Amino acid sequence: MKYASFKLAGIALSLTLAFSAQAADTLRIAADAVPHAEILAFVQKLDPNLKLKVIELSNGVNANELLANGDVDANYFQHVPYLRDQEKALGKKFTVAATVHIEPLGIYSHKYKDLKSVPENATIALPNNVTNLSRALYLLQDKGLITLKPEFKDAAQNQATPRDIASNPKKLKIIEIEAPQLPRSLDDVDLAVINGNYALEAGLTPSKDALGLESATHNPYANILVTNPNLANDPRIKELAKDLQSPQVADFIRKQFNGSVIPVATPQS
């Protein structure tokens, strides 16, 4: 009986250790549902030996806090300027493991079909976080709706705020709204500048529906895979980074999102 008890205990311990080892092999990644989780689902099909657990982000959840606290092993939802602001806010340093795609910021409207039709004193909603607010202002300048002060020439180097507007010919009234809420604001404002992922989640097609779309050329806002420095050389992170930057994933992004999400990697010929 004692032998049988020890044998059963040994089997239980072996199963526990095997389960723990399997869990340890799984890479936990926090990601926005669209397009990030969709891209990760394709990676899982492309590379079935890489075990991924994707935690889709909901409003109000800070994926960098999850990463800093060790609740996830990586996140995939942000661009470098946003990450740098988060590092300052959290007092943490993170590592960029891969640069994957660009989600062009767009100007949308339920009331007007083109920017020329927008009247004076129109209301425009912009993202209220520092980096995307600046990004939105540069987009408005690029589309001729405003002009920023002369020193604001490089979006990657100089973050702008509404105080940095030098001219506003249409006297646009700017309001700042939390980025995930911007698609819902379209019935209440004349224009809204919306992040690509939130536009896609709301059923908008940036390449078709945007009245003005951010250029992908020399764009500093590519979305990145981020991890903690102690995991930077983890083979699982390296494998995922390689997959995300592969020509196969670039082809998938181009076909799946039809120009609304633009891969950084060169697609296969």
Q: Which two tokens stand for residue 85?
A: 């602001």
Say what the pTM is: 0.80
The domains of the chain, with CATH numbers, are: 27-103+221-263 (3.40.190.10), 106-213 (3.40.190.10)
How far, in Å, CA of 220 to CA of 79, rounded? 8
pLDDT in tens, 11-50: 444 444 334 444 468 999 999 999 999 999 999 999 999 9
Q: For residue 264, which of 225, 212, 210, 207 has the smallest C-alpha distance?
A: 225
Q: pLDDT at position 17, please?
A: 37
Question: What's the pLDDT at 87?
Answer: 97
Helix (H) or strand (E) holding 77: strand 74-79
Beta-strand relationship, 95-102 and 106-108:
unpaired
pLDDT (tens digit, 0 to 9) for every residue of the chain, 269 residues total? 444 444 444 444 444 433 444 446 899 999 999 999 999 999 999 999 999 999 999 877 899 999 999 999 999 999 999 999 999 999 999 999 999 999 999 999 999 999 999 999 999 999 999 999 999 999 999 999 999 999 998 888 899 999 999 999 999 999 999 999 999 999 999 999 999 989 999 999 998 999 999 988 888 899 999 999 999 999 999 999 999 999 999 999 999 998 899 999 765 54
- Candidates 108, 60, 117; CA nearest to 214 is 108
> Which pLDDT value is given to residue 65?
97
Q: Are 66 and 75 in contact (CB under 8 A)?
A: yes
Q: How far is residue 172's CA from residue 263's CA, in Å, rounded to a whole number?
A: 33
Q: Distance (Å, rounded) from C-alpha 250 to C-alpha 172?
A: 38
- Alpha-carbon dihedral of residues 187, 189, 192, 194, nearest 10 degrees? -40
Name the helix (H) or strand (E) containing 60: none
The amino acid sitting at 144 is G
Residue 215: the pLDDT is 86
Distance CA 180, CA 19 (A): 37
Task: Copy the structure tokens of residue 195.
Answer: 């992040």
Please choose, from the candidates 69, 44, 42, 40, the residue with its C-alpha nearest in 3D space to the C-alpha of residue 55: 40
Other beta carbons within 10 angstroms of residue 70's beta carbon come to 11
Per the structure block, which two tokens stand in for 132? 């995307």
